[in-house]
Amino acid sequence: MKTNVISENAPLQSLDEWEDDLLERYPEPAQPAKAKEEFRNYDEPGRDTVREFYRLNHTYQTYDFVLEKEREFLKFDKREMSIWDAFDFLNTLVDDSDPDTDLDQLQHLLQTSEAIRADGHPDWFVLVGLMHDLGKVLCLFGEPQWAVVGDTFPVGCAHSDKIVYPEFFQANPDTYDERYNTKYGVYEPNCGLRNVHMSWGHDEYIYQMLKDYLPQEGLYMLRYHSFYSQHREHAYEHLMDEHDHEMFKWVDKFNPYDLYSKSPVPPNWQELKPYYQQLVEKYLPRTIKF
């Protein structure tokens, strides 16, 4: 039986609630225009669960927390699966409470990858579309939602006011720690994002899982597709190097497919299956460690 109680582990009714919130903040360019401040006005949020989600995320995503999660999950000792078994596993995240779609997680990812494919991008780009949210299996390993999805941001340095709900960082211990609350914190100017720890979630997890198998352009898409305070707000230029700026052109290319490909019409998996089986086989090993 479902209840309306908001828990710290799962404040969102479904993970898609965060993605719907992104569409409100960053509407498709073809949609009727609103003033930007209307989309980032959280004084009267449409969903209290999203606000609660970010309160928890911003309170608990500390530098030490991220290092702890990296040690825990980047050993990849939870399970070994084929990609297709992993998608079956991920599909158990479908939530009947989501009013907007009854598509499972694989179908969402197929919509993204098919939109990329239709525009004639390289096949590794199509594979990124298929794989980019697979890291949400973290929820099935016991991670709370606020440590799986949400806009990502650097930890170990001052929090930008361009991050959604910046006021919630007042409850984050790093806000008051002199090691972490300056512009650069533990980092050096223009040190490169490869040297920066991001808030923990599905982006970093899937990047680390696939970093030996895809081109750098695709890996940047995986690692930073939720880093909205940079690729939409340009809030962390001071940590980026020239290579980051070049690679973020690809992050920018990926972002519209991630945000705007959602549709109630399911892809025809039986027709698409041979293509994607060959694509996965081309780039990835038979099994992957999670």
Domain boundaries, the chain: 16-289
At 187-228, the pLDDT tens digits run 999 999 999 999 999 999 999 999 999 999 999 999 999 999
Q: Is 256 helix (H, G, I), strand (E, B) or coil?
A: helix
Residue 64 backbone class (left: φ over 0; alpha: ψ -120 to 50; beta: rest): alpha
At 52-111, the pLDDT tens digits run 999 999 999 999 999 999 999 999 999 999 999 999 998 887 543 333 445 677 888 999
Judge if pTM exceeds 0.85. yes
DSSP letter, residue 195: G
Rounded alpha-carbon distances, angstroms, from residue 70 to 73, 191, 226, 290:
5, 20, 18, 13
57/62 Cα distance (integer angstroms): 9
Which residues pair with residue 130 across a beta bridge? none
211/214 Cα distance (integer angstroms): 6
Mean pLDDT value across the chain: 88
At 234-279, the pLDDT tens digits run 999 999 999 999 999 999 999 999 887 777 678 898 999 999 999 9
217/87 Cα distance (integer angstroms): 23
